[in-house]
Chains A and B, each alone.
Chain A
Amino acid sequence: MRRLKTAAGLALTAVMLFPVYWMVNVSFTRDQDMRKSPPYWFPVHGTLDGYRAVLEQQGPYLATSLVVGLGTVALTLVIAAPAAYSLAKLRPRGGGVLSFVLLIAQMIPGIIMAMGFYAIFLTTGVLNTVPGLIVADSTLAVPFAVLILTTFMSGIPEELLQAARVDGAGVMRTFVSIVLPVSRNSVITVSLFAFLWAWSDFVFASTLDQGGAHQPITLGIYHYIGNNNQEWNAIMATAVVASIPATVLLIVAQRYVAAGVTAGAVKD
Chain B
Amino acid sequence: MSMSRATRTPARTRSGQWAAWAFLAPVVLYLLIFYAYPLYRNVELSLRNYTVRSFVQGDAPFAGFANYAKVFADATFAPALWHTIVFTVVSLAFQFTIGLALAVFFSRNFRLSATLRALFLVPWLLPLIVSASTWSWMLNSESGVVNAALSWVGAGPVNWLTSPDWSLWSVIIANIWIGIPFNLVVLYSGLQAIPSAVYEAAALDGAGPWQRFWRVTFPLLRPVSAITLLLGLVYTLKVFDIIWIMTKGGPSDASTTLATWSYRLGFGNLLPSFGPGAAVGNLLIVMALVFGLVYIRVQRRQAAA
Contact = CB atoms under 8 A, between A and B. Distances in A.
A113 interface: yes
Interface string B126-150: 1111110111111000110100100
B28 A85 contact: no
Given A83-B24, A90-B19, A122-B55, A22 B122 contact: no
Interface string B5-34: 110111010001101110110111011001
B262 A89 contact: no
Contacts of A184: none
A181 interface: no
Most chain A beta carbons < 10 A, residue from B39, B56, B127: B127
B68 interface: no
B3 A236 contact: no
B278 interface: yes
Contact of A266 (B34, B39, B190, B281): B190
Interface string A62-105: 00000000000000001110110111111111010011111111
B151 interface: yes
B235 to A, nearest CB: 9
A154 to B, nearest CB: 6
Most chain A beta carbons < 10 A, residue from B129, B135, B293: B129
A221 B296 CA distance: 37
A186 interface: no
| Chain B interface residue bracket vs A | 35 or more
Contacts of A54: none
Contacts of A2: 110-111
A44 interface: no
A59 interface: no
A182 interface: no
Interface string B177-197: 100111001100110010000
Interface in A225-254: 225, 232, 235-236, 239, 242-243, 246-247, 249-250, 254
A16 B280 CA distance: 35
Contact of A16 (B20, B56, B123): B123
B35 A34 contact: no
B171 interface: no
A71 to B, nearest CB: 14
A5 interface: yes
B124 A261 contact: yes
A202 B3 contact: no
Interface residues of A, number: 107
A221 B133 contact: yes
A221 B129 contact: yes
Contacts of B119: 13, 16-17
B interface SS class: helix
Nearest to A109: B238
Nearest to A265: B186
Contact of A267 (B56, B112, B303): B303
A129 interface: no
B55 A17 contact: no
B289 A115 contact: no
Interface of A: 2-3, 5-6, 8-10, 12-13, 16-17, 19-20, 22-23, 26, 34-39, 78-80, 82-83, 85-93, 95, 98-105, 107-120, 122-123, 135-136, 138-139, 142, 146-147, 150-151, 154, 158, 162, 171, 175, 196, 199-200, 202-203, 206-207, 210, 218, 221-222, 225, 232, 235-236, 239, 242-243, 246-247, 249-250, 254, 257-258, 261-262, 264-268
Interface of B: 1-6, 8-10, 12, 16-17, 19-21, 23-24, 26-28, 30-31, 34-35, 37-42, 44-45, 55-56, 58, 102, 105-106, 108, 110-113, 116, 118-131, 133-138, 142-143, 145, 148, 151-152, 177, 180-182, 185-186, 189-190, 193, 224, 227-228, 231, 234, 237-238, 240-241, 245, 259, 262-263, 266-267, 274, 277-278, 281-282, 284-285, 288-289, 292-293, 296, 299, 302-303
